[in-house]
Structure 1
Amino acid sequence: MNLVNDTLELQEHVNVSHNFDFDLVKPFIKRAERKYIIPNISQKEYDRLLSDAITDADILKIKTLLTEASSNLAFHLGFTQLVVHVTNYGTVQTDLENTNAVDWATRRDLQRTYVQAGFEALDDALKAMELYLDKFPDWRDSEAFTIFDENFNKRTDEFQRHFNISNSRKTFIALKPIIREVEEQYFLPMLGKETMDLIKRRSVIPVLMRALELAQKAEVALTIAKSVDSGAFIMTGSSAIYRWEQLPWEKSSEYSDERLEKLREAKQNAGEEYLKKLKTLLQENPEIFPNYISNVSNTSGNILKLKSGLAL
C-alpha cells in the first residue's frame, strides 16, 4: 500500500485520462515515496499515514499534500519510461496514428512542472508538520527531524530569516552538511562546545538571545559562502535553491562566475563580521559566558583570518 493506490486518487493531483492504466505508474510511485517521502518524514510516520483510521483534519491535510507530492514526483521519475514498453520482442514506444508526440520544449516544461509541483507539495507538508509538531511524535523523534537540533539554525524559517531559500525545507536539508562543517570550522574553535551549547538553548535572557541571533546570522552567511562552490544549488539574485534533480536543460547557476565570486566574498565577509560582534558580546558579559572567558584566557583572544577559516 502507498499514498497513491489507484487512478482516481492519481487524477486528484495529475492530469491523466479516466482509462489510464495505473499499473504503469505504480513502480514510480513506490520509488518516489521511497526516495523523497520516507527519508523526510521517517518510516514510522509514513506507515501511520497509510492507516485508514486517521480522523484528525490537520493530519489528513498533510497526508493529501504528501499524496500530491508522490503523484507528481512519480511522473517526474517515470517521465521518459511511461511511453516505453518492454516486450518479449524488444522495446517499443507508444505511437498512436491520430495523435502527435509533444515537442521537446513542451516535454521540458511538463517535466519541470512535475518537479516543481511535487516538491512544493512536499515542502508545504513538512512546513505544516513543523507547525503541528506534537501530532507527529514519530517524526519529531526520528533522525529525519532531530538532526537539526544540533545547529544554531534549527528550522527552515530560522535560516530563511537571514537568507532567502524560498522557505524550502528540502533546501535546508541539503545545506545541512555545509552547516555542520561551518560550525566545526568556525564556531567550535572560537567558542568551545560549552559556550555553543549554552547559546543553542534558546534562553529568554536578552544577552543570550542576542548571542543566538549573531550566531545564526554568521552561520547562514558562512554556509551560503561555502555553498556557492558546491554546484548543488541554483543561485538567483539573493536566493539559493537546492537542485532537486538534474534536468538536461538546466544550469547549475544563473550567476556568472564573477557574480558567484562576489556573492561568496560578500557572505564570507558578512559572516566574519557577525563573528567579531559575537566575540565582543561574549567578552563584555563574562558572568554569562564563563566557559568562553576561561577558553580565551589560554589564547591570544583575537580572531585570526586563516586559509582554513577563523580561529582565536
Structure 2
Amino acid sequence: MPTIIDAIAEVKKHVAVNRNLDWSSVEPYVKQAERKYIKSLIGRTMYDSYSQAEPEDPVALEVYNLLEEASANLAWFLYLPMANVQISDSGIAVSESEYSKAAEWWQIRDLRRSFIDAGFTALDEALKIMEQTEGETFAAWKASEGYTIFRELFVDRTDTFNRWFNISNSRKTFLALRPYMLEVHHQFFTAKLNLATIELLNNTVKPAEGTETDAPEYIQYMALQWLQAAQVNYTVYKAVHSGTFELTSNGIYEKIEEFPGYKVKPLGESQLHRVKDERLVAAEQYYKKAIALMEANPVAFPDYIKKDAAVFVMPMNTKSVVSF
C-alpha cells in the first residue's frame, strides 16, 4: 500500500533518528499511523493522490508537508515501545550493550508524548488550511462524507465550536465529535424545528456592520448563535457521557487508546458530573433563547411552526438499578 512517507530520509526530515536506522523497521508503523490518524481524516481520494505524488499547487504542497510531518511523528509514537526491545525465537529481550542501556519507562513516556503532540499539531494545522481554503484545491476532501456531514449542522467549523467550549482549536477533536453533533442535531433540533427553518439558519451569515438590531437578518444571526451554543453544549454533554472523551480543566480531549492518560489530570467524578450538568443546563437555556427569538419574530422566520418536541429521558445507571 503506497504511503505519504515511503523512505527513511523523509522520516529524518521531521524526526531526529539514528542514521543507521533501517526503513524496514519503521515502515509498518508509518502504515499504521497514516491509516489510523491521517487517511480517516482526509479521505481515501485525497490520501491516494498524495501517496502517489507530491501536489504542485503551493497550498496543497504546504498541506502535504504537514501531513508528512504528522506521519513521521505519529509513526515514531507507535514505534517507540518496540524500539527498546528485541523479539526473536528465544523470546523478548531489552536492548542493552556495554556502552548503552535501555531507556527508562518514563523517558519513553515523555518521548511518546512529545511525538504525539508534534504529530497532532501538524495534522491540525493541515486540517485548518484545508478547512479555510476556498476553491478547488481541496474539493475532493470537502465533497467527502466526512466533511459534508457538517453542512446540515449549525456548527460546521472548528473555530465556531471552540468559541462556546474549549477544544484547543483542534480540528482532529472537532472531527471526532461529529457523531455526537449529528445525534444531538436529530435528537433535539429536528424534533422542534422544521426543515425550511433549519435551512434558513444554515444559510445565515453575519450581517453587515451597522445593521439595525430589529432587521430580519440580524435576528436570524442572533438565533443561529444561540443554536450554535446549544449544539456545542449538548454535544459536550453527550461526548463526556459516552466515556470516549476526557474532560480536564482545560477542555475536552479525545481519549488515545495507545496512550492512556495522554492529557493528564482529568476531572474527578464529582467535578465531571457537575460539568456535565452545567453543560446540559447551558444547552437548554441557549435553546430556549433561540426558540423565544423565533416565536417573537415571525417576519424573520416565516416558515417556523411552533411544535412540541419529543421528550427524551437520559437513563441514570447505578450499580444495581437503571432509573428513568
TM-score by length of 2: 0.86
1:291 match: secondary structure:
coil
Structure 2 partner of 1:122: 123
Q: Which one of 192, 204, 224 corresponds to residue 236 of structure 2?
A: 224
1:88-142 per-residue CA deviation (whole Å, 9 max, x = no partner) reads: 5555553333101111111110111121111111111111111224211111111
Say which is worse superposed, 222-231 or 170-179, in terms of deviation.
222-231
1:234 match: secondary structure:
strand
Separation (CA, whole Å) in 1 of partners of 2:85 and 2:5: 22
Mapped pair 1:215 → 2:227: yes
Structure 2 partner of 1:7: 8
1:15 match: secondary structure:
coil
Q: CA RMSD in A?
A: 2.3
Determine if contact 1:235/1:253 at 8 Å carries over to the other structure.
no
Determine if contact 1:234/1:242 at 8 Å carries over to the other structure.
yes
TM-score by length of 1: 0.89
Structure 1 partner of 2:61: 60
Q: 1:161 to 1:87 in 2, by over 3 A?
A: same
Structure 1 partner of 2:303: 291
Structure 1 partner of 2:40: 39
Separation (CA, whole Å) in 1 of partners of 2:265 and 2:244: 9
Structure 2 partner of 1:103: 104
2:64 match: secondary structure:
helix
Determine if contact 2:234/2:283 at 8 Å carries over to the other structure.
yes
Q: 1:260 to 1:88 in 2, by over 3 A?
A: closer
Separation (CA, whole Å) in 1 of partners of 2:22 and 2:84: 12
Structure 2 partner of 1:156: 158
Q: How many angstroms does 1:232 deviate by?
A: 1.9
Structure 1 partner of 2:72: 71
Q: How many angstroms does 1:251 deviate by?
A: 7.5
Mapped pair 1:258 → 2:259: no
Q: How many angstroms does 1:236 deviate by?
A: 2.0
Determine if contact 2:63/2:130 at 8 Å carries over to the other structure.
yes
Gaps of 5+ in 1: none
Determine if contact 2:237/2:279 at 8 Å carries over to the other structure.
yes
Q: How many angstroms does 1:75 deviate by?
A: 1.5
Separation (CA, whole Å) in 2 of partners of 1:253 and 1:207: 41
* Paired residue total: 303
2:164 match: secondary structure:
coil
Identical aligned pairs, as a percentage? 37
2:81 match: secondary structure:
coil
Q: How many angstroms does 1:304 deviate by?
A: 9.0
